[in-house]
Structure 1
Amino acid sequence: MQGLRDNRDWQLLFTEYWLRSLRDEAVHERFVRHRRTVRVAVGEAVQRLGLETDIDPAPTAVLVLALNSGLSIEEFTEPGVVPAELLGTVLRAVIEPR
């Protein structure tokens, strides 16, 4: 969460880019390509951790990115509302080795 808080401007720019992509087809195509690349990178990072989970790396990447986006909305709307350990706690509960 600290990394998210330290990169507030990046998250705001990302949100603007996402919103623009929903309104402009050319931007949308670039945004989709970018997000696919990001999901692959996150999925590969999950695989490198060698965790045995019930969720494949690709959906795990979607989960990680969705949690990041959702928690940033809540934190930037009301600073301090997201506990510092929440993201790690949720990820451990979902991705913890068996």
Structure 2
Amino acid sequence: MLRSYLRLAIRTLRRRLGYTAVNMIGLTVGLACCALVAVFFQYELTWDSHHDHADRTYRVVNEYPSDSYSSIRFEGFRTNEDDPTEQRSCRAASCRRFRP
């Protein structure tokens, strides 16, 4: 019975070659897009996981765009003495040119 189903499917696919090609191309593109999205999500979710205590690492970013540049500012930066639960802290700044 399975053999007859396979024969019928192959015969139909050969008879409608254009329809089969469009379906196979669509299926291939859909699976490729799904795989790319899965790889992107995996990369984003494991971005800082190589650090020790990665579950306790946080990144706080404030971005203030301007016409000529975009900068990241850390206003009101706290020290370890301000918050006893904070173990370590780091301050970083970056500027880049804005190109429309």
> TM class, shorter-chain normalised?
under 0.3
User: TM-score when scaled to structure 2?
Assistant: 0.27
TM-score between the two structures when normalised by the length of structure 1: 0.28
Larger radius of gyration: 2
Give the structure with the larger helix fraction. Answer: 1
